[in-house]
Amino acid sequence: MATKIVMAQLSPTMEEGRLLEWKVKEGDRVEPSDILAEIETDKANMDIEALKGGVVRSILVEAGATVPVGAIIGILGEPDEDISDLLAEAEASLSGTPPVEDAEPEAVAAGEPEPAAGPPPSEPAPEPGTTAPSEPAPEVPVREIEHSQVAESSVTGRIRVSPVARRMAEGANLDLGAITGTGPGGRIVKSDVEKAIADGSARPAPAAAPAETGAATPAPTVAAAIGPARLEARDLDLSMMRKSIARRLTESIGPVPHFFLTSEIDMGRALDMRHELNQRIAPEKVGVNDLLVKATAEALARHPEINASWAGDRIRRHGSADIGIAVAVEDGLITPVLREADRKGLIQIARESADLVARARDRKLVPEEYQGATFSVSNLGMFEIDQFTAIINPPEAGILAVGSTIEKPVVMDGAVVIRRRMRVTMSCDHRVIDGASGARFLRTFRAMLENPLEMLI
């Protein structure tokens, strides 16, 4: 039975995905668990696997295209199987006409559990591996669906042609307007071009119009002898991650009533302890960020009212400190989550954090590794930022923004001395955290770093 491959919802916040690469081509036979394609979601790159074997009958979306969750991106079946109904369903989703019937699911994300029956029709988007809902699918641009592609023709002006057929015709220098399409709705498909090549029935594509004679040739520009070269303005397509960041932070800064608390911390003892510890555990290393995560987790354990979330008609206090660690990646930011950090020692935190950060930068995290934090830490100290404020990531109620540690003169016991100081700003959701409770948490956090042996007890 022919089956459809859909753009599965690979994370709860995913609304659309970019097809980075097909791992198969039309005509390939695949077996269960074979990788079909690589998808870029809003947070990571994930593979789609085949649930059962078959032949790749049609690739409907080209690499690089962005399509909504639930869109049909390909069809599997047997070589002699009629797939016209599934092709019609793909066209129906494009035009907004309800599809005739649902097809069996075919693909899931690598590492995801194999789905049972498809979701009820009321669900807005299918989970990984399920079929698209029977209601009209989100509109997909014409250029992204293979069997609804259009091409210019010297005879008919615009015709419908699949991307594969179009590329074959271009490669053979054939005029698509002279080829009769046998696909649904008169579309030109791969077999039509193969037939035209074999029997010579198609004429060559028209040559490009010659350049107009007498046209002025622009004079070569001469770069300025002094000053930087001028750059032309250009628009950049949004990545899935950048779209997600824009959507999530818009949801935060408007509805969430932020207020900010800033404290300056003496880091001398913490950095000395870190240096001595790293000499003892080499080649393993404890980073400054590991100290921050440990101190945050310990402070949250002592102030459970901070380790909480706004839940509409109630406040939810969490049973463990699951710390989100802000990591800068290409074209965005992701926060891998260190689970139960309040129950882990400093060295274990360092090991697990290093692994999470490395895989975050490679975009190899799975959704459960970057979702569900109860509190976050964002450290820009390595960029020589003295102080900044961070936006809360709902439903968390707080985030720490950490600046660089610098040597500066301070007054201690009536004398001016040079100390290593670090500024921290806590962003608080005022629906959950009041000024006094936030200040008490920040005072505990400061005490942990200024007396670091407390973190080891």
| Alpha carbon distances (Å) from 279 to 22, 182, 253, 255, 292 | 48, 73, 43, 47, 20
- Letter for the amino acid at 223? A
Q: What is the separation of C-alpha 15 from the centre of its chain, rounded to a whole number of angstroms?
A: 11
The rounded distance, in Å, linking the Cα atoms of 67 and 41 is 11
Residue 243 near residue 386 (C-beta atoms within 8 A) = no
Q: Are 138 and 94 in contact (CB under 8 A)?
A: no
User: CA-CA distance, 407 to 315, in Å (whole number)?
Assistant: 41
Structure tokens at 83: 């797939």
Catalytic residue list contains 318: no
Grouping H, G, I as helix, E, B as strand and the rest as coil, residue 420 is: strand
Question: Which structure tokens are listed for 14?
Answer: 């995913």
Alpha carbon 450 to chain centroid, angstroms: 38
Please report, for residues 13, 232, 252, 254, 373, the alpha-carbon distance to residue 247 in angstroms, rounded to integers and kept in the order given: 10, 28, 9, 11, 18
Three-state DSSP state, 50:
strand
In the Cβ-directed half-sphere of 280, how many Cα atoms lie within 13 Å?
7
The residue length of the chain stands at 457
H-type helices in 76-201, by residue range? 84-95, 163-171, 190-199
φ, ψ for residue 422 (rounded to 5)? -135, 135
Quick one: tokens of 101? 């019937």
> Whole-angstrom distance between the N-terminal and C-terminal Cα of the chain?
63
Q: Which residues pair with 9 in a beta bridge?
A: none
Give whole-number Cα distances, 435 to 47, 76, 104, 125, 257, in Å: 45, 59, 55, 41, 12
Residue entry with tokens 């210019």: 152
**Closest C-alpha among 249, 430, 257, 445 to residue 335:** 249
Q: Are strands 332-334 and 327-329 parallel, antiparallel or unpaired?
A: antiparallel
CA 379/CA 399 separation, integer angstroms = 10
Which positions are annotated as active-site residues? 430
